[in-house]
Structure 1
Amino acid sequence: MSEELVRLSKRISELGIASRREADAWIEKCWVKVNGEIATLGMKVTHSDRIQISSKAKNEQKKLVTILLNKPVGYVSGQAEDGYEPAKVLITAQNHWVKDDAPIRFSPSQLNHLVPAGRLDIDSVGLLVLTQDGRVAKSIIGETTDLEKEYIVRVAALDGSRPTLSAENLALLNFGLQLDGKPLLPAKVSWLNEDELRFVLKEGKKRQIRRMCEAVGLKVLRLKRVRVGRIVLGHLPLGQWRYLKPGENF
C-alpha cells in the first residue's frame, strides 16, 4: 500500500518546524531539501521522506518575535473595524515596558507579519499575544491545541445587583452549557471574591465568557485575561508590551 502524499509545506507544519506560509517562503528561497534534492513549491511528500532545512532558514526563524501586550479597552485584536484601531498600533518604542529584560532591541520591521494569536474582545483587557512565528500561533490557536487561557471576570446580576449563583448554575458554567447549538468543553470556573469569577478555558468562541454568564443570569462588568498557557500577564502595565523571552514557552 503506497504512502499518502501531502504538500511539503503542510508536512513541515505538521512536524512543528514552521508555519505553512513560512515553509513556502523557505522553499521559494531553495532552503529546503527532500531526500537530498532541492524542493520545489507545491511538491508533495510522504511521511518517510527526509526533509532538510537550511541553516539560513533556521537563522531567519530565530529573528521572529512574539510580543505580549496588556490590551486596553477600545482596541480590536486584529484588523481595524468599525472605526476602532487594532491593538498592533500600541507596539511602539514608547509603549515598550521599561522592565522588559529580553535581549531583543525594538525595530519597526518587527511589525511586519505580526498577527494576534487568538482574539480578545474590544471591551476586554489583558494578555494579548502577537507573533511573527507560526509555531507560536499554532501552539495557541491550532486545531489540536488544548492550551489553557485564564480570565478574571467581574460580574453582577442582570439587574445590576450583587451577583449570586446557585450550585447548579456554577456547575453549568464548569460543564453543561451550549453555544450556537454545540456543547462547550469542560471549563474551570470558581469564585475569587463576592463579585469576581475565575474562568479557565481551553477554547475561545466569540464572546464566550459573556454569553456563558448571561446563560446563568449574570452580566460581565469587566473581563481580563491574565494567562495563556504558562505565560502570565504579571505586572505588565495596561497599554504596554514586552517580548516573549528565550526560554519562555506557552
Structure 2
Amino acid sequence: MPAACLAAESGALVRLNKRMAELGLASRREADEWIAKGWVLVNGQPAPMGAKVAAGDRITVSRAAGQQQASRVTILLHKPVGYVSGQAEDGHPPAASLIAARSRWAGDAVRLRFAPAQLRGLAPAGRLDIDSTGLLVLTQDGRVARRIIGEDSPVDKEYLVRVAFGPVTQNVQAAFPPQRLALLRHGLSLDGQPLKPAQVHWQNPEQLRFVLTEGKKRQIRRMCELVGLRVVGLKRIRIGQVRLGALPAGQWRYLAADERF
C-alpha cells in the first residue's frame, strides 16, 4: 500500500516536484530524489525526472519514501554569539559544529540516540546573525524548512532586543519618542521594499519585544538603526509554536513528535 496518495489540484501543468512541495509531501529536492528512485507514481505509472502533472493526475508516494522521511531529524539549537548560522565564514565556526552527543541538553525528553548520520544534510532553516543568540532550527526534513522559510510561510518569530538610544542606555523607553515606536510597527522600508507590519512592544525599559513574519538579513538591527536605536543584544525566543524555553546556550535538543512550528 502507498504511504501517501493525493490528487493534484486543478490548474495548468506544473512540474511534479513543485506540486509535491505544494501538497506538503516533500521538498522539491526530496521529490527529485524520490522520483529518481522510482518512489513516485503518477496515475499508477513511475514518474520520470522533470515530469509535469495536470488537474486530476493522481500522485502516489511509496512507503519507502515515508520511512526515509520519518528517519530525518530536526534539531533545536540555542546558538551562542560568535557562531554563524550556515557555512563557516571569516574564521567563525558554523552553528552545526555544536551538534554532538556531548552538547545535547540533559533535559531533552525525546528518546532518540544521537548518531553522526543525523548530521548528513542537516541545514539551518533560516538564519540568526553572528552577533545574535537564541533559537536556531537545523533540519534534514525539507518540509520543515519550507514551513519555516518558504515564500508563503505563515510562521512568525519572536525576539527580545536590548537597545540604547544615543547616549541613553538606562530607561530607554522614557527617552524614545512614541512616534518612532509606531514606525517600527509599520512604515519602514528595507532594500527599497516596505516591511510587513510587525508587533513591537516594550518588554522592560531597556528591552523591546519584536514579532516578525518575515526575515530579511539583519532586519531588526537595520529597523532599529532607521529610528535611531542601537541594538545591544538580540535573542530569538520563539519560532511559530516552538519556544527556546530552558535550553542552555550552546546546547541542543530534538524537535519532539508533538511539536509543530
Give the TM interval when normalised to the shorter protein. Answer: over 0.9
1:58 paired residue number = 66
**CA-to-aligned-CA distance 1:19-57 (integer Å, 9 cap, x gap):** 011011111111111101111111111132001100010
Q: How does 1:181-196 map to 2 (within 5 A)?
A: 181-196=192-207
2:115 paired residue number = 107
Indicate the percent of aligned positions where both proteins have the same amino acid. Answer: 61
1:240 paired residue number = 251
Q: How does 1:67-82 map to 2 (within 5 A)?
A: 67-82=75-90
1:44 paired residue number = 52
Structure 1 stretches lacking a partner, 5+ long: none
Cα distance in structure 1, aligned partners of 2:142 and 2:55: 21
1:157 paired residue number = 165
Q: How does 1:218-233 map to 2 (within 5 A)?
A: 218-233=229-244
2:210 paired residue number = 199
Q: How many aligned residue pairs are there? A: 249
CA RMSD of aligned residues (A): 1.2
The Cα shift of 1:3 comes to: 5.3
Matched, 1:20 2:31: no
> Normalized against structure 1, the TM-score is what?
0.97
Cα distance in structure 2, aligned partners of 1:161 and 1:119: 28
Residues 67 and 129 of structure 1 are in contact (CA less than 8 Å); yes or no, is this contact kept in structure 2?
A: yes
Letter in 1 for 2:161: V
The Cα shift of 1:77 comes to: 0.3
Letter in 2 for 1:8: L
2:221 paired residue number = 210
Cα distance in structure 1, aligned partners of 2:217 and 2:46: 43
Structure 1 stretch 74-83 or stretch 226-235: which is displaced more? 74-83
Cα distance in structure 1, aligned partners of 2:204 and 2:51: 57
**CA-to-aligned-CA distance 1:86-121 (integer Å, 9 cap, x gap):** 100000001000110112211100011110000000
Residues 169 and 206 of structure 2 are in contact (CA less than 8 Å); yes or no, is this contact kept in structure 1?
A: no
> Normalized against structure 2, the TM-score is what?
0.93
The Cα shift of 1:247 comes to: 1.4
Cα distance in structure 1, aligned partners of 2:46 and 2:231: 55
Cα distance in structure 2, aligned partners of 1:117 and 1:44: 28
